[in-house]
Amino acid sequence: MRTLFRDGSADRVRSRNESAWLLPAGQGRANEELRATMRTFEDRDDVDAVIVGCGAGGATMAQRLARAGWRVAALDAGPFWDPERDWVSDEAGSHHLYWTEPRVITGSDPVPLGSNNSGRGVGGSMVHYAGYTPRFHPSDFETHTRDGVGADWPIGYPDLKPFYEAIEGELPVSGQDWPWGDPHRYPHTPHPVSGNGQMFQRGADRLGIVTRVGPVAITNGRFGHRQHCIYRGFCLQGCKVNAKASPLITHIPDALAHGAEIRPDSMVTSVEVDPRTGRATGVRYVRHGVERFQRAAHVIVAGYSIETPRLLLHSTSRRFPDGLANDFDLVGRYLMVQGAPQTGGRFADEVRMYKAPPPEVSSEEFYETDPAAPYKRGFSIQTVSPLPITWSEHFAGQGIWGPELRERMRDYVHWACLGALCEFLPLPDNRVTLADETDRHGMPVAEFSYSQCDNDRALMKAAQQVMEQILQAAGAEHVTTFHRYAHLVGGARMGTDEHTGVVDRDCRSFAVPNLLITDGSVLPTQGAANPALTIMSVAARAADRLIHHSTSTPPAHPTVWREHVRDSR
């Protein structure tokens, strides 16, 4: 299924997802008319699907279902962003892009949340992700069979492959031909490489480690009305240019054009279930201080790995006293983060890593289990380019302060930085539960407990060694490694039955037939890949199954909003 031309004309993408062509062609970054004339539903309307969360999973669902004629209301706790007005080209000024509601972190290796792993508002954390969009490898779907660790998915790589290809076209992804996992090509050619990427390539070449430019979801060529990247380096602060993909610009416009409602500033506090039928009836939510209830034929939860389990655990009833779809104590469990150490190398040369997008060059040479290594599974290596605040926090985290901190930071333009993603294993006690503490809605906040296992620690050490060797081979005068985490997946994983998973292979919950979960929390393993592309692809597959293979599909409504699409161009 090769649907794109290398020149980026992408006609076939346009025929199935018109988002990029619905964005303003000139000034402005949001299609204001499309938003102003958005279809809206009443709470009493029994919509075909209410979606909780408009990030990678929720927005993809909304676009697919709306195109199929479903009446969709997609709620998000945060704002409906306008990149021009709401985002800034500044590190500290981008704090509002993160989910900063209270949360408690525990365990032997507690994972700080907020900035790098949780989003807020329409677009979700893809608003501030770096932009890396690698596929998972075929091995990721059967780590238990192959390596005796982790879990096997109820679907295999071939089930997801057509959806990977579709989403790669819709983002679209730019990069060199990919030699790892299932070798494949990308619709857009690779971006030029900056100082940081050059240092990675130089060191890796000298060690015989294969690297590739990409894969990044930043357009490189004409694609609808998306603007070209200006290489300003603020990908993690929200792309004001509309060059880096997020669902806000890749799926929401097409969803609106097909009659979906995006309802921002709406905090869902519970999913309600009819005790007689055992079916979900809709969601309770708070908007502008008023509690409301949206009726729906399907409830689709896509709040990501912390908020999805929190919502389910908080949705108790006589039928589900321990939380919705939690009959077997699986909700919130097997939550994963990736070990994401960053290694800095200081060079006599000026690298100026803040110039150009942080995501540039990757290597998946160490992704698969090495039979000679004392650990299972692996890691990937990618360029990362921390801005000054994050960079100074790295040093401070090593106990550096005072004159030494200032002096290290005066070297800022001389540092190159690599990051690893280590595949930490899914463990049952790494989980979300409800804390005693409550948020401003009176809803118990999530407590996230995380503890590493020996395999996790061994992987981190191996990744650190390789990154330090690469930067030394490139000529660094000094290298240092900072320990940190990135990404979240799991917490409501898919399984073959209700004893192994919360949802089935199609993201339907085992316990409630019209309840689906379509976000990163359904992933049983995480590979050593950034999860965004896989989350979108899993959601696209779930939508496809729901639309074409569901026994309870609601009657399709005529797509009257087609007229609207033409008008808004």
Partner 1 sequence: MTARLPHRAITPGSTPQRFPGFDVLAEADAWDPVTAGVVLARVGPQPPLRFFSPAQEAVARPLFDLILDQHQEPRVPVFEMVDQRLAELATDGWHYGDLPADPQAWTLSLGALDQDAHQQCADGFASCPLEDQESLLRAFLDLGDDTWHGMRADRVWSLWSRYACTAFYSHPWAWNEIGFPGPAYPRGYKNPGVNAREPFEVEDRRAAHRDPA
- Ranges within 308-347 binding partner 1 (CB under 8 A): 347
410 sits near partner 1 (criterion: CB under 8 A): yes
Residue 162: CB minimum distance to partner 1, A: 36
Write each residue from 343 to 382 as x if it is in contact with partner 1 (CB under 8 A), else as -, in one continuous string: ----xxxxxx-xxx--------------------------
In angstroms, give the least distance from the CB of 358 to partner 1: 12
**What is the smallest separation between the CB atom of 62 and partner 1, expressed in angstroms?**
26
Binding positions for partner 1, 475-504, rule CB under 8 A? 477-478, 480
Nearer to partner 1, 63 or 521 (CB): 521
Residue with tokens 């809803």: 443
Q: State residue 201 phi and psi, 5-degree precision.
A: -60, -40
Residue of the chain from 32, 40, 42, 114 that contacts partner 1 (CB under 8 A): 114
Residue 148: phi, psi to the nearest 5? 70, 15
106 near partner 1, judged by CB under 8 A: yes
| Closest distance to partner 1 from the beta carbon of 154 (Å) | 32
Interaction of residue 5 with partner 1, rule CB under 8 A:
no
Site string for partner 1, 230-259 (x = CB under 8 A): xxxxx-----xx------------------
Contact between 398 and 480 under an 8 Å Cβ cutoff? The reply is yes
Which of 72, 418 has the CB closer to partner 1?
A: 418
- Separation between Cα atoms, residue 408 and residue 329, nearest integer Å: 48
Size of the site for partner 1 (CB under 8 A): 74
Please classify residue 92 by burial: count the beta carbons closer than 10 Å to its beta carbon, then call 0-12 exposed, 13-18 middle and 19+ buried: exposed
Instruction: Give residue 446's identity as a one-letter amino acid code.
Output: A
Residue 85 or 569: the one with the smaller Cβ distance to partner 1 is: 85
Q: Locate 49 and state its tokens.
A: 């699907």
Residues 206, 160: Cα–Cα separation, whole Å: 36
Residue 81 in contact with partner 1, rule: CB under 8 A: no
Burial of 435 (0-12, 13-18, 19+ CB in 10 A): middle
Report the site for partner 1 in 82-101 (rule: CB under 8 A).
84-93, 95, 98-101
| Best CA proximity match to 469, nearest among 210, 197, 211, 206 | 206
Q: How far is the CB of 157 from partner 1 (least distance, A)?
A: 34
Concatenating the DSSP letter of every residue in 354-393 gives TSS-S--EEE-TT-S--TTSSSSS-EEEEE----HHHHHH
Instruction: Write out the H or E segment, with its range, that includes residue 73.
Output: strand 72-75
Kindly state whether residue 113 participates in binding partner 1, applying the rule CB under 8 A.
yes
Contact positions with partner 1 (CB under 8 A) in 422-451: 447
State which H helix or E strand residue 232 sits in. none
Q: Smallest gap, in angstroms, from Cβ of residue 225 to partner 1?
A: 16
The rounded Cα 247 to chain-centroid distance in angstroms is 10
Q: Which is nearer to partner 1, 180 or 450 (CB)?
A: 450
Per-residue binding string, partner 1, 170-209, x by CB under 8 A, is ----------------------xxxx--xx----------
**Is beta strand 47-52 parallel, antiparallel or unpaired with respect to 72-75?**
parallel
Q: Per the structure block, which two tokens stand in for 19?
A: 């988002």
Residue 1 or 230 with smaller CB distance to partner 1: 230
- Unique residue bearing structure tokens 């930067």: 471
Q: Judged by CB under 8 A, which of 274, 407, 497, 563 binds partner 1? A: 407
Helix (H, G, I), strand (E, B) or coil at 221: coil
Q: Which is nearer to partner 1, 149 or 193 (CB)?
A: 193
Q: Which is nearer to partner 1, 112 or 275 (CB)?
A: 112
Binding part of the chain for partner 1, among 51-59, 227-235, 287-295, 420-428 by CB under 8 A, reads: 227-235
Give, as ranges, the residues between 448 and 477 that touch partner 1 (CB under 8 A).
477
Pairing mode of beta strands 342-346, 415-422: antiparallel
Q: Which two tokens stand for residue 424?
A: 């930490």
User: Which of 37/198 has CB closer to partner 1?
Assistant: 198
Rounded to whole angstroms, the Cα distance separating 83 from 265 reads: 17
Partnered with residue 282 across adjacent β-strands are 272, 295
Buried b (16+ CB within 10 A) or exposed e, 525-546: bbbbbbbbbbbbbbbbbbbbbb
Distance CA 286, CA 76 (A): 11
Q: Which C-beta is closer to partner 1: that of 69 or that of 332?
A: 332
Smallest distance, partner 1 to C-beta of residue 518, A: 25
How far apart (Å, rounded) are the C-alpha atoms in residues 106 and 96?
24
- For the bound state, the minimum distance from the C-beta of residue 400 to partner 1, rounded and expressed in Å, comes to 9
Binding-site member from 155, 413, 458, 547 for partner 1 (CB under 8 A): 413
Least separation in angstroms between residue 213's CB and partner 1 is 13
Site membership for partner 1, residue 105 (CB under 8 A): yes
Least distance to partner 1, CB of residue 13, Å? 26
Report, in Å, the least distance between residue 488 CB and partner 1: 12
Binding mask 21-60 for partner 1 (x = CB under 8 A): ----------------------------------------
**Residue 100 in contact with residue 120, Cβ under 8 Å?**
yes
Residues of span 387-406 touching partner 1 by CB under 8 A: 387-389, 391-393, 396-397, 399, 401-406
Parallel/antiparallel/unpaired status of strands 266-273 and 415-422: unpaired
Residues 6 or more apart whose CB falls under 8 angstroms from that of 251 comprise 17, 19, 59, 60, 62, 63, 170
Q: Cβ 242 to partner 1, closest distance in Å?
A: 12
Is the CB of 25 or the CB of 389 nearer to partner 1? 389
Report how far apart, in Å, the C-alpha atoms of 64 and of each of 61, 241, 256, 544 are. Answer: 5, 25, 11, 8
Nearer to partner 1, 25 or 556 (CB): 25
